[in-house]
A and B are shown apart, each in its own frame.
Chain A
Amino acid sequence: GQNIDQPTEMTATEGAIVQINCTYQTSGFNGLFWYQQHAGEAPTFLSYNVLDGLEEKGRFSSFLSRSKGYSYLLLKELQMKDSASYLCAVMDSNYQLIWGAGTKLIIKP
C-alpha cells in the first residue's frame, strides 16, 4: 500500500534549527510537497521537490532523495510563529496526493 510517515510532534527552541523527516512508499512519484498549517487556517505551500537534492528558500529548505523515499524540511532560526503543523504529501503516478498525518511543531522560548 501507499504510505507516508512523519513524526507526530516535535519540540524545538526559538532561534534553533529543526529537521522534520518524511519517508514515503508510493505507487510512482510525481513530486513531494511540504505545507505549513496553523490551527484553524488553510495549509500554505512551502516547497515542491521532484528532483533529488536540496531546495533552499529563505529560512526553510527541503531535501529529497527519491532512491531512499525520503525528504526533510529544515527550518532555521526558528521563530515562535513557526509553531504549526507541517504536512508532507507525495503525488503518485496517478497524480493523486498521498498525505502524511502532519508533524506538530512546538516552539519554546
Chain B
Amino acid sequence: GAVVSQHPSRVICKSGTSVKIECRSLDFQATTMFWYRQFPKKSLMLMATSNEGSKATYEQGVEKDKFLINHASLTLSTLTVTSAHPEDSSFYICSAVSAGGPSYNEQFFGPGTRLTVL
C-alpha cells in the first residue's frame, strides 16, 4: 500500500525557535497534502490544504505566518512552525492524496510528529 512518512517523528525545541516537519509520499505522487493537528484523544483538526506548486489554503483560525507550508514537489510538503511556543506543543499529522494509479484519490496518513516546545 501507499506509504506516507514524516520527519522527524518527535522534536523538542526551545520557545522562540522554528521547527520544520517534512511529509513525504514514498511510492506515489500527491498533488494534495493535508496538515492536521491532533489534541490528546481528540479529533484531527485540519490546519491547511497543501497543493503542489501553489499556496496552501488555511482553515479559519490557523495563522498562515506562524505555520508555513511549502509543497515543493509531488512527493514532499513541509510544515514550519515559526517562533514556536509551548501552546504549539502537539501531534502534527499529514496526509497525502494519491494523484493517480490504483489508489487514485485515496488519502493516506503519516505517522505523525510529536512537537514539544519547552
Contact = CB atoms under 8 A, between A and B. Distances in A.
A97 B1 CA distance: 16
Contact of B44 (A31, A35, A96, A98): A35
A89 B95 CA distance: 14
A25 to B, nearest CB: 15
Interface string A74-109: 000000000000010100001111110100000000
A42 B111 contact: no
A43 B43 contact: yes
Contacts of B41: 31, 45, 48
Q: How large is the interface on B (under 10, 10 to 19, 20 to 34, 35 or more residues)?
A: 10 to 19
Interface of B is mostly: strand
A31 B42 CA distance: 13
A67 B13 CA distance: 37
Interface string B88-109: 0001010000000000000111
Nearest to A46: B43
Q: How large is the interface on A (under 10, 10 to 19, 20 to 34, 35 or more residues)?
A: 10 to 19
A94 B6 CA distance: 14
A97 B43 contact: no
27 contacts: A35-B43, A37-B107, A42-B36, A42-B43, A42-B44, A44-B44, A45-B41, A45-B42, A45-B43, A48-B41, A87-B109, A89-B109, A94-B9, A95-B91, A95-B112, A95-B114, A96-B9, A96-B111, A96-B112, A97-B91, A97-B109, A97-B111, A97-B112, A98-B111, A99-B108, A99-B111, A101-B1
